[in-house]
Amino acid sequence: MLTNVPKAQLSVQEALVLLRVRWQIELLWKLWKQHGKLDTWRSYKPERILTELYAKLLGLVFTHWHTLLGCWQAPNRSLLKAKQVVQWMTPCLALALTGVVPVPTVVERTAQMMQTGCTINSRRKRPNTYQLLADPRLVGSLG
């Protein structure tokens, strides 16, 4: 790893934590590709494939928006668990979009579920990224 940041501004441990945070972005893309199934479709007609791809991308953007509202501010939240909460609440959102239930109520309930059920447990031997962000000195315990 190379950097031009002076040692006084960025320690080796902090640089390693930043590298690990970069990996979290890659994991987000992996989550989108695997669970969004962007590389599979049910038709051979180009216009249907494109429509299905747009629908999946729209669903992923919606899921990500919900995740931002519900748990992005707390770094000890699992994106996979948050995706599962959004997936589980999708029928409620469909009811909200038809006017049966208020949309803000569904969004708030989804956010509440993410705040209570999507936590990642802390670890001593191999600290999670959120633990390293809080204390970069824990990087030394990785080796």
What Cα–Cα distance (Å) separates residue 54 from each residue in 3, 5, 61? 38, 41, 10
pLDDT at 142: 53
Percent of the chain predicted with pLDDT > 70: 98
pLDDT at 78: 84
pLDDT at 13: 84
**Cα–Cα distance, 19 to 14 (Å, whole number):** 9
* Token representation of residue 12: 């080796």
Nearest to 89 by CA among 61, 54, 53, 63: 63
Q: Is 54 a residue whose pLDDT tops 80?
A: yes
Which pLDDT band holds residue 5 (cuts at 50, 70, 90)?
confident
Specify the higher pLDDT residue, 26 or 103: 103
Give burial (CB, 10 Å; 0-12/13-18/19+) of 125. Answer: exposed
Percent of the chain predicted with pLDDT > 90: 20
- Beta-carbon contacts of 120 under 8 Å, excluding residues fewer than 6 positions away, are 76, 77, 78, 128, 130
7-24: average pLDDT: 83
Beta bridge partners of 77: 119
**Cα–Cα distance, 92 to 108 (Å, whole number):** 12
Nearest to 132 by CA among 4, 11, 17, 39: 17
56-74: average pLDDT: 84
* Residue reference for tokens 């640089």: 15
Beta bridge partners of 119: 77
**Cα–Cα distance, 17 to 137 (Å, whole number):** 9
pTM: 0.66
Among 12-16, 26-30, 119-123, 137-141, the range scoring the smallest mean pLDDT is: 137-141
Beta-carbon neighbour count of residue 7 at 10 Å?
A: 9
